[in-house]
Structure 1
Amino acid sequence: MSLYEASFRVRHECPYREISERYPDLTIREWYLSDCQVIEVTSSEAPTEELLDEIDDLGTVLHESVDESGLHVVTQSCLCSLEDSIIDRFEEYNALYQPPTIHRQGWEHYTVIAFDESDVRDLLQDLETDRDIEVLSKTAITEQAVPHSMLAPVDRLFESVTDRQLAALRLALESGYYEQPRKTSLRELADRTDVARSTYEEHLRKAENKLLTNAGQFLRLVTAGSTADPLGVADAGRSEQPAD
């Protein structure tokens, strides 16, 4: 069975059109979670104070950094801007939305996957009634080539991870604990919190275990059907079998 993937961009009035037009080097990526939007803003150029003020207005800033590589900001906001959203129209035509939405130079970029070519055609015709639209690509894909991003929504990866565990994981990540060589130790991380080292380590290990467990189902889907064995696991297993 074939599926149909369409990539297109549209231009209409939306919260991010003006800012992306005024700052042509800016890229805005937009994800929708169950109860909020997550916005990632990047630029290869150093931001002005005016731009930073405008980004502050997009939502609650979760992360902000400016270095030689440019600007990187992550914000979180409510879902109020999604009322009468284009995403609802995708669903009307049985089209599966592929996040994130990318905003650049006044255009919104979308990718959808549908189970019938006529659904893609009808969706694009509908969008043309009230938006400027440019179709970038329409492609038939095999069932086996469905993008892996369809399989792993972000909120599922962090399912059952508590706020304390997330805080411990974020502190370790941002402090360079997972870099090689490590830039910090568990004791140093715990000293930056109000909990004992053993308590901090427990939060961190539980977060790691839950994250890997949640990701495991997607890992199996991603590698299903692959005949490659880069680690030689199959051969190693066979070599360890006792001779008859």
Structure 2
Amino acid sequence: MALYEASLRVRHECPYRSISERYPDLTIREWPLSDCQVLEISSEETPTEELLAEIDELGTVLHESTDDDGYHVVTQSCLCSLEESIVDRFEAHNCLYQSPTIYRQGWEHYTVVAFDEADVRSLLAELREDRDIDLLSKTSIAEKQVPHSMLAPVDRLFDDVTDRQLAALQLALESGYYEQPRRTSLRDLAEQTSVARSTYEEHLRKAENKLLSNAGQFLRLVTATTSTNPLRSEQPASVDQRAD
């Protein structure tokens, strides 16, 4: 099965278009998380007071530095302005979004991976209906070549996993439940909590199931580049073939 990696840039009204247009040397990289986004902002020039004030308005500053390479800052902000995200359109066309999104000079730069070239074409056709689109590259990924951008966004893996399920999973992991041989049992794990064994096991199993379900699309992506299944033995040769 062939995979396709497409890089495109999009111009439309978005939260960071204005600032990236007014400061052409500015580069903004965005990593969306479950309830917020992390922005890495860099500039080769010394920032003006006006730029610093605008960056402060984007969110909470987590890191800030200035050196020979220029100005660098990391901020965290809410996703309240991104409810109708373009990422939703990617998913509707079976295209996997690969973060980060890069904003520069008024353009948003995205990379997506698809299992079918037709999905890329249909995605581009829909996007062109209401915004400017430039397809920068479209590459067919050869068999056994897993693209460098196939790192699954961490927040996607934990979608819909509740706090109690996460706590059950963390306790099991830290206690050696998943080691071989196991260093603990479900009974011992439950005794470290305030819930019954059956309740703890339910939390743990639901967490495991959700993690595997969320990772399924990325597992499919990786195995799509493998031509053979290592768990299936090759069919034995027929009598006629052995005779040859």
* 1:6 aligned residue: 6
Residue 155 (structure 1) shift: 4.9
Residue 79 (structure 1) shift: 1.3
SS, match of residue 151 in structure 1: coil
How far apart in 2 are the matches of 1:131 and 1:156? 27
Change (3 A) 1:123 1:23: same
Give deviations 1:125-153, integer Å, cap 9, x for gaps: 00000000111011111253232432343
**Quick check: 2:34–2:156 contact (8 Å CA) kept in 1?**
no
How far apart in 2 are the matches of 1:66 and 1:105? 22
How far apart in 2 are the matches of 1:37 and 1:67? 25
User: Following superposition of structure 1 onto structure 2, how do residues 96-111 of structure 1 map, counting pairs within 5 Å?
Assistant: 96-111=96-111
SS, match of residue 89 in structure 2: helix
Q: Name the Cα RMSD after superposition.
A: 2.3
Counterpart of 1:114 in structure 2: which amino acid?
A
Give deviations 1:215-243, integer Å, cap 9, x for gaps: xxxxxx9xxx9xxxxxxxxxxxxxxxxxx
* 1:92 aligned residue: 92
Counterpart of 2:116 in structure 1: which amino acid?
D
* 2:233 aligned residue: none
* 1:201 aligned residue: none
Query: Runs of 4 or more off by more than 2 Å in structure 1?
Result: 142-157
How many aligned residue pairs are there?
163
SS, match of residue 31 in structure 2: strand
* 1:54 aligned residue: 54
Counterpart of 1:41 in structure 2: which amino acid?
I
Residue 44 (structure 1) shift: 0.9
Change (3 A) 1:127 1:5: same
Matched, 1:70 2:67: no
User: Following superposition of structure 1 onto structure 2, how do residues 113-124 of structure 1 map, counting pairs within 5 Å?
Assistant: 113-124=113-124
Counterpart of 1:17 in structure 2: which amino acid?
R
The structure with the larger Rg is 2
Residue 156 (structure 1) shift: 8.5
* 1:150 aligned residue: 150
* 2:16 aligned residue: 16
Q: Which runs of 5+ in 1 are unaligned?
A: 163-220, 226-244
**Quick check: 2:98–2:150 contact (8 Å CA) kept in 1?**
yes
TM-score (norm 2): 0.62
Residue 58 (structure 1) shift: 0.7
How far apart in 1 are the matches of 2:97 and 2:153? 12
Q: Which runs of 5+ in 2 are unaligned?
A: 158-165, 171-221, 227-244
Structure that is richer in helix per residue: 1
SS, match of residue 123 in structure 1: helix
Change (3 A) 1:94 1:155: closer
SS, match of residue 30 in structure 1: strand
How far apart in 2 are the matches of 1:111 and 1:139? 11
User: Following superposition of structure 1 onto structure 2, how do residues 187-198 of structure 1 map, counting pairs within 5 Å?
Assistant: none
Counterpart of 2:85 in structure 1: which amino acid?
S
Stretch deviating more after TM superposition (33-42 or 141-150): 141-150
Residue 7 (structure 1) shift: 0.6
Change (3 A) 1:44 1:149: same
* 2:44 aligned residue: 44
* 2:193 aligned residue: none
Stretch deviating more after TM superposition (148-157 or 60-69): 148-157
Counterpart of 2:144 in structure 1: which amino acid?
Q
How far apart in 2 are the matches of 1:97 and 1:44? 28
TM-score (norm 1): 0.62
How far apart in 2 are the matches of 1:150 and 1:57? 32
